[in-house]
Amino acid sequence: MLHVDLDQFIAAVEVARRPELRGRPVVVGGTGDPTARGVVSTASYEARAYGIHSGMPLRVAARRCPEAVFLPVDAPAYREVSERFVDALRRFPVVVEVLGWDEAFVGADTDDPEALAAGIRAAVREATGLGCSVGIGDNRLRAKLATGFAKPTAPGGGAAGHCFRLTRENWAAVMGGLPTSALWGIGGKTARKLAATGIGTVGQLAAADPARLAERFGPTMGPWFRALALGAGDAEVTAAPHVARSHSRESTFQHDLVDRAEIGRQVAELAGRVARDVADEGRPAVRVTVKVRFAPFLTHTHGLTLPAPTGDPGEITRAALTLLERFDLDRPVRLLGVRAEFADQGASDPP
């Protein structure tokens, strides 16, 4: 199993269109105006050296690197390059499972996965002009994590050939001493909770008492965390089309909203846009969630399950406005979001 990931995808697309930016710190996000509200979509490796990362406010990024080049998001351009990326993968006798614009799992029957990885990298470069890194593993978890060791930003400058193999044989040697947050599926918050129990590394988590983990983190999540530390994961790649679990729309306002009526109008507009996305998906929504981010950065969410699955714009809008009433709008609002969720399609991962 291979995991193929385009390097600094969005920034790389922009640099390919503007070769004069090569080697410079490039930040893509919002309208490209670092004085306006918005967040970083991606940053070039040169910009990341200044501590700039996805999700960071553009204003903060500008303070960290005033000489950075800021560019607006151009989704159609990224989508077109992504399609060429996927087409290049599908020319090989493999199973391709697309994960997003810039990454995919590849299932193959081969005795030389490194040679296959080299061929994929060459084909992607020819089709898109972009570089990619390839992780080789005996399941999804290990292949995904292997890609991180193949990246140019990995310690030592990345694995030779932008390819790295991580399997049962070298799992403990490679991963054992790393922090638990290095695992795909364990974020910073969970890592801190594990550290509070004396578990700081992947190796310590792998050796932890399952009963103790279940007691602390629940009978599902506790054992699952340990399974991740042991490198367990699904070994299947499917070519089935990606099925969205939800559709959402958000707006960040250049000036904080304080008028409740205006906030309601904005939520209704977002809900209408989400309802159109739901209609385009051709599946009814079963749950609606509203997000409110207050100034400066306090975010609250409320959600509710709909009485019956629906794609009716009126029902989705009414649900969103009902949820808005649950918020105490006692401070300025900088962002609003509405999400419509579809019925579970049978995902096997723990919640």
Based on the domain organization, do 3 and 152 belong to the same domain? yes
From the list 17, 16, 12, the residue with the least C-alpha distance to 28 is 12
Task: Give tens-digit pLDDT for 32-66.
Answer: 999 988 889 999 999 999 999 988 999 999 999 99
* Residue pair 225/194 in contact by the 8 Å Cβ criterion: yes
Check residue 239 and give its pLDDT.
81
Whether 257 is covered by a domain: the verdict is: yes
Q: Is 329 a domain residue?
A: yes
Residues 141 and 281 grouped into a single domain: no
In the chain, which stretches have pLDDT less than 70? 154-160, 242, 344-351
Domain membership of residue 105 (yes or no) is: yes
Instruction: Classify residue 73: in a domain, yes or no.
Output: yes
**135 and 48 in a common domain:** yes
Cα of 265 vs its chain's centroid, Å: 30
In total, the chain counts a number of residues equal to 351
pTM over 0.85: no
Residue 112 in any domain: the answer is: yes
* CB-neighbour burial class of residue 62 (10 A; exposed 0-12, middle 13-18, buried 19+): middle
In this structure, what is the dihedral angle of CA atoms 318, 319, 321, 327, given to the nearest 10 degrees? 160
Same domain, 65 and 199: no
Q: What pLDDT score does 160 carry?
A: 61
151 shares its domain with 254: no
Give the range of the structural domain holding residue 261, as residue numbers without chain letter: 246-342
CATH number at residue 76: 3.30.70.270
Within-domain flag for 108: yes
Domain identity same for 129 and 223: no
| CATH number of domain containing 315 | 3.30.1490.100
239 is a domain residue: no
Task: Give domain status of residue 220, yes or no.
Answer: yes
Residues pairing with 342 in the sheet: 285
* Secondary structure E strands in 138-264: 163-166, 246-257
My answer on whether 337 and 188 are in the same domain is no
Residues 20 and 59 in one domain: yes
The verdict on whether 103 is a catalytic residue reads yes
CATH number, position 194: 1.10.150.20
**Which residue among 46, 103, 315, 341 is the active-site one?**
103
Q: Is there a single domain that holds both residue 123 and residue 206?
A: no
- pLDDT of the residue at 351: 37
Residues 10, 132, single domain; the answer is yes
Q: Are strands 163-166 and 285-294 parallel, antiparallel or unpaired?
A: unpaired
